C-alpha cells in the first residue's frame, strides 16, 4: 500500500519557469493511483482501441511503448524511470508492445496520431481525448534514463490528476481520519460507470482543478466477478455477502443509511464525508421505469421528493426530483421478460443525471 496520502503530488512548476506548454495547454491526466506500483499492460490492440476511440475515450493518459522480447537495454532503463515516476507522483501509466501495431490497424494509428511510435524504439506518448498531444521517442537523451531529466520534462506538459484509485484500506482510513473525503464507487464492467466517465467525469476534470481530490474505488470484485477467470461472471452475484456488507458499512445501501443510502446500493455512487460522517451523496442512473396507464413513469429513483431537502447541491439544477417523472416511450427499452418494466436509455437519462452529478462535483470538489 502506498503511504503518501495527505501530500498529493504537484507535478507542475510555475509557468514563468517553463519552456514547454503554458498552464492552459498542459494535459491534466485523468487518473492517479495510490495502489498501483507498476505500468498497466494493454495486452491487445482492442484495449488501446477502447481508450482511444471506444468506451473509455476522453481519458487523458500516458502510454509507453516497447518491443516485447526485445534485446535492447534501453527499455529496461526507461521502465525503471517510469516506475519511479509512478511511485513518486502517484500517476497511472499504460504500456503496450510495438508488435501489436501492424498494417491491419494502420488507419486507426494514423487517425489517432500514433504513427511515429510504431517503430522498435521505446517511446512515451501523452494522450488527450483520443489524440496524441505529445510524443517522446528514444533518442539516447537523458529523458529516457535519468529520472530528474524525465520529471522536469513531464512537468512542462502534464498536470496532476483529480481522481485517484484507492483500495478499501485507504478509503476506510481516510473516512476515519480525514476532515473531508470525496469518493466515487464503481465497477470496471458496469455500463453506467463506463457511460459516466466520458460524459461527465472526464470533461469535468479537464476543466477544473479540484481543491478536494476524489478517490475512486472499484468494488466490482466483491460481487464475485473475476476478470482473470475463464468465465468472469461464474460466481457473480450482487447478493454476495461481502458485497452486501460493504454497501451497508459504507452507507451506500438503505440498510446502512436511511437518508443517503439507496435501496440495496448501486454504482456509480458518489459520496461526500466530513469527519467520518456521510454528509451528501449522488447516485448516477439506476432508476426504475414502469408502464402505467400507457405512460412510462420513473417509479424508483434516488432523487425523490422525500430526499430532496437532504441533498445540498441542487440549487440551480432544473429537475431535482426524478421519481414520478413521465418518460417518452422512445426513450425506454422494455424488458424482454416483462413489457411493463423498462430501462431508461442512457442518452435520455443523462439529460437529467448529468446536471445532478455536475452540481455535486461543483459543490464538493472545487
Taking only the tens of pLDDT, the chain with its 366 residues reads: 444 444 444 443 333 333 445 556 899 999 999 999 999 999 999 999 999 988 888 999 999 998 876 667 789 999 999 999 999 999 999 999 988 888 788 888 889 988 777 677 899 999 999 999 999 998 878 999 999 999 999 999 999 999 999 999 999 999 999 999 999 999 999 999 999 999 999 999 999 999 999 999 999 999 999 999 999 999 999 999 999 999 999 999 999 999 999 999 999 999 999 999 999 999 999 999 999 999 999 999 999 999 999 999 999 999 999 999 999 999 999 999 999 999 999 999 999 999 999 999 999 999
* 276 and 224 inside one domain: yes
* 147 and 280 inside one domain: no
Residues 163 and 29: their CA atoms lie apart, in Å, by: 9
Task: Say if residues 167 and 217 touch (Cβ distance below 8 Å).
Answer: yes
* 149 and 295 inside one domain: no
* 348 and 246 inside one domain: yes
Q: Is residue 264 part of a domain?
A: yes
Domain interval for residue 103? 24-160
* 136 and 186 inside one domain: no
Pairing of strands 93-97, 269-274: unpaired
Q: Out of 141, 160, 179, pick the residue that ends a domain.
A: 160
* 250 and 357 inside one domain: yes
3-state secondary structure of 13: coil
Q: Out of 160, 192, 215, pick the residue that ends a domain.
A: 160
Q: Is residue 47 part of a domain?
A: yes
* 142 and 170 inside one domain: no
For position 132, which CATH number holds? 3.40.30.10
* 136 and 242 inside one domain: no
* 125 and 177 inside one domain: no
Tally of domains within the chain: 2
Nearest residue to 354 via CA among 298, 299, 303:
303
Torsion 306-308-311-312 (CA) sign: negative
Torsion 140-65-115-26 (CA) sign: negative
Task: Say if residues 95 and 65 touch (Cβ distance below 8 Å).
Answer: yes
Q: Is residue 9 part of a domain?
A: no
* 145 and 181 inside one domain: no
Q: Out of 160, 189, 216, pick the residue that ends a domain.
A: 160
Phi-psi region of 129 (alpha: psi -120 to 50; beta: other; left: phi over 0): left
Q: Is residue 117 part of a domain?
A: yes
Q: Is residue 348 part of a domain?
A: yes
Torsion 150-33-35-176 (CA) sign: positive
Q: Is residue 11 part of a domain?
A: no
* 168 and 115 inside one domain: no
HEC profile of 325-346: CEECHHHEEECCCCCCEEEECH
Residues 158 and 78: their CA atoms lie apart, in Å, by: 19
Q: Is residue 4 part of a domain?
A: no
Q: Is residue 75 part of a domain?
A: yes
pTM of the model: 0.90
Task: Say if residues 62 and 94 touch (Cβ distance below 8 Å).
Answer: yes
* 156 and 193 inside one domain: no
Amino acid at each position: 500500500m502506498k503511504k503518501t496520502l495527505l501530500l498529493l503530488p504537484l507535478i507542475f512548476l510555475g509557468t514563468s519557469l517553463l519552456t514547454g506548454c503554458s498552464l492552459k495547454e498542459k494535459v491534466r491526466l485523468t487518473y492517479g493511483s495510490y495502489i498501483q506500483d507498476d505500468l498497466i499492460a494493454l495486452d491487445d490492440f482492442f484495449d488501446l482501441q477502447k481508450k482511444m476511440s471506444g468506451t473509455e475515450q476522453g481519458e487523458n493518459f500516458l502510454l509507453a511503448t516497447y518491443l516485447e522480447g526485445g534485446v535492447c537495454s534501453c527499455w529496461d532503463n526507461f521502465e525503471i524511470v517510469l516506475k519511479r515516476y509512478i511511485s513518486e507522483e502517484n500517476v497511472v501509466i499504460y504500456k503496450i508492445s510495438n508488435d501489436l501495431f501492424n498494417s491491419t490497424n494502420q488507419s486507426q494509428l494514423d487517425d489517432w496520431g500514433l504513427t511515429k511510435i510504431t517503430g522498435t524504439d521505446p517511446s512515451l506518448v501523452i494522450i488527450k481525448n483520443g489524440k496524441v498531444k505529445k510524443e517522446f521517442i528514444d533518442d539516447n537523451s537523458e529523458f529516457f534514463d535519468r529520472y530528474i531529466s524525465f520529471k522536469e520534462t513531464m512537468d512542462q506538459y502534464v498536470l496532476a490528476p483529480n481522481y485517484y484509485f484507492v483500495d478499501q484500506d485507504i478509503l476506510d482510513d481516510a473516512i476515519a481520519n480525514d476532515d473531508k473525503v470525496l469518493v466515487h464507487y464503481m465497477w470496471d464492467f458496469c455500463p453506467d460507470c463506463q457511460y459516466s466517465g466520458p460524459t461527465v467525469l472526464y470533461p469535468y476534470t479537464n476543466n477544473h482543478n479540484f481543491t478536494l481530490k476524489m478517490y475512486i474505488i472499484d468494488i466490482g470484485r466483491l460481487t464475485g466477478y473475476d476478470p482473470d477467470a475463464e468465465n468472469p461472471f461464474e460466481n457473480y452475484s450482487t447478493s454476495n455477502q461481502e458485497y452486501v456488507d460493504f454497501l451497508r458499512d459504507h452507507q451506500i445501501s438503505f440498510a446502512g443509511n436511511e437518508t443517503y443510502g439507496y435501496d440495496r446500493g448501486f454504482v456509480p455512487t458518489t459520496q461526500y464525508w466530513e469527519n467520518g460522517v456521510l454528509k451528501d451523496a449522488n447516485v448516477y442512473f439506476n432508476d426504475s421505469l414502469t408502464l402505467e396507464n400507457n405512460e412510462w413513469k420513473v417509479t424508483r429513483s434516488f432523487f425523490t421528493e422525500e430526499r430532496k431537502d437532504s441533498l445540498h447541491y441542487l440549487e440551480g439544477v432544473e429537475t431535482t426530483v426524478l421519481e414520478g417523472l413521465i418518460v417518452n416511450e422512445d426513450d425506454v427499452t422494455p424488458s424482454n421478460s416483462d413489457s411493463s418494466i423498462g430501462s431508461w436509455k442512457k442518452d435520455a437519462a443523462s439529460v437529467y443525471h448529468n446536471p445532478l452529478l455536475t452540481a455535486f462535483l461543483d459543490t464538493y470538489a472545487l
